[in-house]
Structure 1
Amino acid sequence: MTRVFDDETTARFAEHYPETPHRLNHHLRAHDLLTLEAIADLSEALPAGSVEYNPGDLPVGIDAADVPDNGLSIGETIRTIDVCRSWAVLKNIEQMPDYAALLMQLLNELRPAIETKTGRMLRPQGFIFVSSPHSMTPYHFDPEHNILLQLRGSKTMTQFPAGDARFAPPTAHEAYHSGHQRNLVWRDDFQASGTAIDLAPGQAVFVPVMAPHFVRNGPEPSISLSITWRSDWSFAEADAHGFNRLLRSAGFEPKAPGRFPASNKPKAYAYRALRKAGLTG
């Protein structure tokens, strides 16, 4: 397969990574592994814990526990995505060798720019999103460095500044890193502070670690591929939030972890030592 990211795109990525959201271009609009039928077959081959799907007509803000079932199987959901008014994600597609090879080809094209800034590319993962027209992915954040590539249809991702407590308070980060859900509490007055990035086939968007966002699908069915990776910095940021949770539970008001390139290693190392000793709760 020819290169997915051209020189101009990799240069733009290198300029903005890892903290600034930006649009990218890609050449992955047609691939045998990414047709609707291939994705439906993949959904039925993956373990049950690696698929998630639900009705797509959801509000921007909703607790994960309140999301209803759509009454279909995952394969039926994907094969009827034009009309079933649903949203589906296939997680960790790298469990399948062909998809692992595709994921690594894409990431290897960006590896020099990534590792120059944030060091070793760790835990590469891939996710495929299939969405009915006008469906909504509610307001949430994710712990990985992430590029979302639009393959079919259109969508708009609205992002909010990572690390800004107005949009995701420290307690939300601390709860997430202790095993709670990633959906966040939405307030309508957030909307004016968001950056809306429109995506058409052949376009992509970079999402910084833990940048709150929601996604609204366009008028046609959508297929998107998310390629993600972690870094030593992202793991340290997560563990620092874990340590802050312990401090907060002891009555302190800890300072939030710093954003890149700030080092969060002291708190991270302390939390890892406590975790190893079985004292993190």
Structure 2
Amino acid sequence: MTAQLLDNWTSQDFGALERGVLVARHRLAETGLFTDEALARLIDSHPADRLSVNTMGFDPEHFDWREGSRGDVSGEVLVDLVRRGHLWVNIRGLLDNQPEYATLINTLYDELEIGSPGFTARDRSANLLLSSPTAWVPFHLDLPVNMLWHIRGKKRVWVYPPFDTRFASPIVMERIAVGEFSEEAPYDPSFDQYALTYDAEPGQLITWPQLTPHRVSNLEGLNVSLSTEHKNPQAKRRLNVLEANHWLRRNCGLNPAQDWSIASAAGPAARAKELLARGVRFYRSKTGVAKERFAYPKTFVVDPSTEHGFRLLEGMEEKVVAPHEELEAIS
């Protein structure tokens, strides 16, 4: 492992963390942890319930995200299927299950904290993303602060203005925060005229402020990216404000949509809502009311004999309608 994973960062790079879109360099490929052989070993040693296989249709304007089963294929075969098929593999929970990768990820974050006084990365997590040359990820937003460390292949990333109700309404953000929606949000192609577009090359990091809408389309080759996520006190408060707003809307008939303290997560109203959200979660934990999160059913299985690397299960040909699509249809 190299002594310095961040590649020639400037003070301006460190200063942009969580404040705007940042494109900077890293040296993760030099660790040897992202070769085909290393990826196959990682897949074979990883807990099955922490590895997701997805596909997504071929037209980014027509949402058809699907969850599937890896079946009994080896890590080596799965890597090859991703290279030649139409798949997206998400290896989750690296910090808890892969000590070598956990050391790498914590080293990255330690370098960020050392280089940027005031930057705090708590509740760290990381997923490794393997995706086909034709794969894409729909318009969505991540709840924690997300950092995309691109390692192999090429992909295009569209980043939309954060905290702008034209692209993600308060109600949509609230429903994502409480788990009623997955992270996908209603998308209109007209949004793209306001997006910043980046073609990610191997060795580049792209990151943006928390809750920034974005989408991704691969351009070339087997794509490998490390997706790290973290929170700080301000990030946690934003999510608590969203949860509290959702509770107030559903249970008190209030309309806090215009109370847009999300961006700064500061002031007495935001802090009061943080206490409210924590109180609601505590009450639910004591009464056995768990917060359910939307999950896609498994509708396909990986199949090396097929053109795109997967086979739909019998009776699962129709797309799954995601909750945000239902909201879009109603509105």
TM-score computed with the length of structure 1 as normaliser: 0.89
Question: 1:105 maps to what in 2?
Answer: 107
Rounded to whole Å, the distance in 1 between the matches of 2:81 and 2:25 is 28
Task: Give the secondary structure class of the aligned counterpart of 1:85.
Answer: coil
1:13–1:113: 8 Å Cα contact kept in structure 2? no
Structure 1: unaligned runs, 5 residues or longer: none
Q: Provide the rounded CA distance (Å) in 2 between the counterparts of 1:144 and 1:274.
A: 20
Change (3 A) 1:146 1:227: same
Change in CA separation of 1:191 and 1:43 when aligned onto 2, cut-off 3 Å = same
CA distance in structure 2 between the partners assigned to 1:168 and 1:113 by the alignment: 32
Partner residue in 2 for 1:238: 239
What percent of counterpart residues are identical? Answer: 23
Q: 1:201 corresponds to which residue?
A: 202
- Correspondence for 2:277 among 264, 271, 274: 271
Task: Report SS of the residue matched to 2:187.
Answer: coil
Structure 1 residues 166 and 49, CA gap change in structure 2 (3 angstroms): farther
How far apart, CA to CA, are the structure 2 residues paired with 1:185 and 1:14? 32
Matched AA of 1:256: W
Deviation at 1:135, TM superposition (A): 1.2
Query: Cα offset for 1:277?
Result: 2.4
Query: Against the structure 1 CA distance between its residues 74 and 207, is the aligned structure 2 distance closer, same or farther, given a 3 Å change threshold?
Result: farther
CA gap 1:161/1:247 in 2 versus in 1, 3 angstroms: same
Alignment of 1:58-77 (within 5 A): 58-60=58-60, 66-67=65-66, 69=68, 73=73, 75=75, 76-77=77-78
Alpha-carbon contact 2:146-2:210 (below 8 Å) kept: yes
Change (3 A) 1:178 1:261: closer
Give the distance between the partners of 1:122 and 1:244, measured in 2 at CA.
24
Give 1:79 shift. Answer: 3.1
For structure 2, the residue ranges without an aligned partner over 5 or more in a row are 292-331
Change (3 A) 1:110 1:68: closer
Sort the Cα spacing of 1:198 and 1:220 in 2 relative to 1 into closer, same or farther, 3 A: same
What is the deviation of 1:275?
A: 2.1
Q: 1:261 to 1:247 in 2, by over 3 A?
A: closer
Shift of the alpha carbon at 1:121? 2.1
| Cα displacement string for residues 108-146 of structure 1 (whole angstroms, at most 9, x for unaligned residues) | 1001355514xx421111111111112101111111222
Counterpart of 1:259 in structure 2 is 263
Task: Give the Cα separation in 1 of the matches to 2:55 and 2:135.
Answer: 8
Please state whether the residue corresponding to 1:277 is helix, strand or coil: helix
Contact 1:115 1:121 in 2 (8 A): no
User: What RMSD over aligned residues (CA atoms) do the two structures have, in Å?
Assistant: 2.4
The equivalent residue for 1:91 is 92
C-alpha separation between the residues in 2 aligned to 1:229 and 1:209? 10
AA at the equivalent of 1:212:
P
Aligned-pair CA distance for 1:57: 4.2
- What is the letter of the counterpart of residue 156 of structure 1? R
Counterpart Cα distance in 2 of 1:110 and 1:10: 12
Distance 1:15 1:183, change over 3 A: same
Could you tell me how far apart the structure 2 residues matched to 1:35 and 1:56 are?
25
1:1-281 map, 5 Å:
1-7=2-8, 9-55=9-55, 57-60=57-60, 66-67=65-66, 69=68, 73=73, 75=75, 76-95=77-96, 96-113=98-115, 116-117=118-119, 120-180=120-180, 181-249=182-250, 250-254=252-256, 255-260=259-264, 262-263=266-267, 264-278=270-284
**1:156 and 1:43, CA in 2 relative to 1: closer, same or farther beyond 3 A?**
same
Residue deviations 1:253-278, cap 9 Å, x none? 10233313635322111211232123
TM-score scaled by structure 2? 0.76
The residue identity in structure 1 corresponding to 2:218 is N
Which of structure 1's runs of 4+ aligned residues deviate more than 4 A? 61-64, 70-74
Cα 1:265–1:60 shift into 2, 3 Å: farther
For residues 165-208 of structure 1, what are the alpha-carbon distances to aligned partners after superposition, in whole Å with 9 as ceiling and x for unaligned?
A: 11111111111121231111111111111111111111110122
What code does the residue aligned with 2:130 have? V
